[in-house]
Amino acid sequence: MSKKSHTAARIAAGIGLALGGTAIAAGALYTEIMTSIIARRRTPATDAMVALATGYEPAPPDPAIAAMTQALQDAPTRPVELRSRDGFVLRAHWYPTEGAKRTVMLVHGWHSRWCVDFSASAPFLREAGCNLLLIDQRCHGESGGDLIAYGIAERYDVVTWLDWLEQEPEHKGLPVYLCGVSMGAATVLMAAGLPISGRVCGIIADCGYSTPDEIIKLTLEKNIGKMAGPTLAAVNINCKLRENFTFKDYSPLEAMVQNKDIPCLFVHGDADDFVPWRMSFENFYACRAPKDILIVNGAGHGLSFLVNPEIYKKKLLSFFETYDPIPAEPMPEPKKCLFGKKKAAL
């Protein structure tokens, strides 16, 4: 090879390495950005990235919902803090009710907070005799955590909160229900696949998805089309490397196949354009425990209680009435002998 040819080959190899390195760096940057959008807490930076990538900007908050959210934030709740099994700080707000008949753990959805998703239903639940434990899921609100696992890791946090409840004097061993909206619904359904039977009387799953992998892919397809599959694969690898999970690891569907004992009430709006309402039917049909389903006509994502509160309240009260344990009857006092002791025989 001539000196000129050798030099040209070295230059070409250098350019190839540079281009390859640039492509790898660009791919890594893209994966980090998409991981932040999909699986990290909501910040102004992630909102800006979503708007840049999809052209979508979050709608301004509804004034009525904002007012109810503020009212719940102003309520006399007690902050609670504990550690997850993998070391993250988890926080919640404990809202006891005088003369409570049961305790309901309320689990919010993706990129939401403890005081938002249940701001409309919390007053009714308290009127119905429920203590409320409103948790911030990991990587949301006041809780710690680096990645959102769409219920796969969060299901174990539910068990940690159940352990806390059992030590809380104001709970006093009352029956416990788990109630979740959207990702929160998926979280509580997946918790049913863990050994919590006997500790939980029922689960209310409002507009939950059937598999994390599918709901993420469906959402990506709406925004980035054919890049959805490769993007999700890259994000799954990133999550596996960082926190040892992928969005294929577990699902509400799998949990419902395993759930034979914990009654479930599924709720969904038929106008939901975020989580298809067929997914609640998929979970419903997979569930092997006692179950019921409520489809609210005209309700969008997470709005069933607001659209038709009366039918929602009626269904909840019926669910509680059906599955609240019947209090044990007190043991009758032993009857006294009317004739006293028998005299000893002579």
State pLDDT tens for residues 215-254: 999 999 999 999 999 999 999 999 999 999 999 999 999 9
Q: How far is CA 66 from the centre of its chain?
A: 21
Q: How far is the C-alpha of 118 from the C-alpha of 124, rounded, in Å?
A: 10
Contact assessment for residue 126 and residue 97, using Cβ atoms and an 8 Å cutoff: yes
Q: What local confidence, expressed as pLDDT, does residue 323 receive?
A: 98
What domains can be seen in the chain, in order of their start residue?
A: 10-60+224-244 (no CATH), 63-211+248-323 (3.40.50.1820)
CA diameter of the chain: 135
Nearest to 294 by CA among 262, 318, 321: 318
Element (H, E) at 320: helix 309-323
Nearest to 38 by CA among 136, 183, 157: 183
State how far the alpha carbon of 303 is from the alpha carbons of 37, 121, 209, 314, in Å: 24, 11, 15, 16
Question: What is the sign of the dihedral through the CA atoms of 262, 263, 266 and 267?
Answer: negative
Q: What local confidence, expressed as pLDDT, does residue 54 receive?
A: 56
Residues of the chain with pLDDT under 50: 340, 342-346
Q: Which amino acid is at 231?
A: T
Q: How far is the C-alpha of 211 from the C-alpha of 249, rounded, in Å?
A: 10
Contact assessment for residue 291 and residue 263, using Cβ atoms and an 8 Å cutoff: yes
Per DSSP, which regions of the chain are E strands?
78-83, 89-95, 102-107, 130-136, 176-181, 202-206, 264-269, 291-296
- In terms of residues, how long is the chain? 346
Q: What local confidence, expressed as pLDDT, does residue 330 receive?
A: 61
Contact assessment for residue 121 and residue 115, using Cβ atoms and an 8 Å cutoff: no
State how far the alpha carbon of 269 is from the alpha carbons of 56, 200, 295, in Å: 23, 25, 6
Q: What local confidence, expressed as pLDDT, does residue 14 receive?
A: 54
Q: How far is the C-alpha of 253 from the C-alpha of 141, rounded, in Å?
A: 27
Question: What is the sign of the dihedral through the CA atoms of 257, 262, 263 and 264?
Answer: negative
Q: What local confidence, expressed as pLDDT, does residue 345 receive?
A: 46
Q: How far is the C-alpha of 151 from the C-alpha of 170, rounded, in Å?
A: 28
Q: Is 290 exposed, middle or buried (0-12, 13-18, 19+ CB in 10 A)?
A: middle
Q: How far is the C-alpha of 279 from the C-alpha of 210, rounded, in Å?
A: 5
Q: What local confidence, expressed as pLDDT, does residue 73 receive?
A: 98
Looking at residue 227, the DSSP 8-state letter turns out to be: G
Nearest to 258 by CA among 106, 155, 337, 139: 155
**At residue 266, what are phi and psi to the nearest 5 degrees?**
-100, 135
Q: How far is the C-alpha of 149 from the C-alpha of 35, rounded, in Å?
A: 11
